[in-house]
Amino acid sequence: MASFVIHHVAGIEFLKRIEKEYNVYFTEEQKNQFLLGNLIVDSIKTNLHIPKGLDEEELALLKKEYYQKIQEEKVKTHFIMMEDEEVFIQIPVVEKFVEKYQHIIQNDFSAMGYLFHLYTDKMFFCELFNENFECLDKNMQPTKYTKDLRIIKVKKNGKLYSVDDVFNNEGKVSIYNDYTTMNKFLLDYYKIFFDYSGLYNYAKNNFINPGIEEVDYNNIFNVLIETANYIKQSNESKTCNLNIFSDNSVMLFIPNIVEKFLFEYFFLFKKNIVDMKKNTNIKKLEK
């Protein structure tokens, strides 16, 4: 999935694009609802508790069970098809969310943020992943199944790496190191400020689930804390180079998803934009 920071940056850029293109402005409440809804999708209920005295084998088993439970949660929160559970890269089926909650999306900014998050993840996998690396089996043939995956081909340098080399925090070309570098690059490029205190204080009394069954809105505080920590890590990182992703593909990702999201789903929030425009014109007349 795209990182917490990528989701936040993309969300802010989406709001800016709407305001600029349609000559309207979002209230602070609308912005907060959208940005929190955009982040809540990655919340999880499962916690990792590590008892004292575990040996390495027991610890490894505990962590495996923990990540399995998280994956089961994400299948629900990210609207992933059950038959795709064996697939290595699991892509949200955005249409399932729209079909189930269209009536809510049209009237609630947090639900609109939820939709934008799912769309961002979909494009992150379908475009950014496909543009930058390829999953291969032992016979060097493309595969999408976890059980068959053996090799990752990085298109940037044409080199082949084991799955652990790429999808491991301590791997030779860890994708997670690229995430940190990507976060830093995007925060600097877009000059994004993460208003942790403002979002946290707003959420305490105003962030109420409009009826989305797959997620617990009360988990938003953990998500905000994690996002702030990721931003801190990114700012402290001394790494400046991407190992897997190309600079150009990262640069284009944010404006591309904003553009495509508007094209595909503008019909869902067109009424909101029209109402906002009326309010904007009224305020201009009042001045």
Q: What is the pLDDT along the chain (287 residues), one digit of tens a residue?
A: 789 999 999 999 999 999 999 888 899 999 999 999 999 999 877 665 677 777 777 777 776 766 667 677 888 899 987 666 688 888 999 999 999 999 999 999 999 999 999 999 999 999 999 999 999 999 999 998 889 999 999 999 999 999 989 988 777 788 989 999 999 999 999 998 899 999 999 999 999 999 999 999 999 999 999 999 999 988 888 778 899 999 999 999 999 999 999 999 999 988 888 778 766 554 544 44
Q: Do residues 114 and 126 touch, judged by C-beta distance below 8 A?
A: no
Q: Which residues of 70-94 are buried (b: 16+ CB within 10 A; e: fewer)?
A: eeebbbebbbbeeeeeebeebbbbb
Going by their DSSP bridges, the two strands 160-162 and 133-136 should be labelled as unpaired
**What is the structure's pLDDT at 66?**
60
Strand boundaries in the chain, DSSP class E = 133-136, 151-154, 160-162
User: How many whole angstroms separate alpha carbon 219 and alpha carbon 276?
Assistant: 30
Q: How far apart are CA 178 and CA 249, in angstroms?
A: 13
Residue 60, Cβ density class (10 Å: 0-12 exposed, 13-18 middle, ≥19 buried): exposed
Backbone φ and ψ of 207, nearest 5°: -95, 95
pLDDT value of position 47: 61
Name the phi and psi angles at 162, rounded to 5: -75, 165
Structure token pair of residue 47: 């916690």
Give the relative orientation of helices 175-190 and 220-236 as an angle to the nearest 10 degrees.
Answer: 90
Strand-pair partners of 145: 87
Task: Provide φ and ψ at 142, rounded to 5°.
Answer: -60, 140
What pLDDT shows up at residue 272?
A: 81
| Per-residue model confidence (pLDDT) at position 83 | 63
- The CA distance from 75 to 274, in Å, is 35
Residue whose tokens read 């999201």: 261
Helix (H, G, I), strand (E, B), or coil: what is residue 254?
A: helix
Q: Say what the pLDDT of residue 236 is.
A: 87
pLDDT at site 284: 46
Tell me how far CA of residue 94 lies from CA of 117, 169, 192, 281, in angstroms: 10, 29, 27, 34
pTM for this model (two decimals): 0.90
Helix or strand or coil: residue 198?
helix
CA dihedral 206→210→216→217, nearest 10 degrees, is: -20
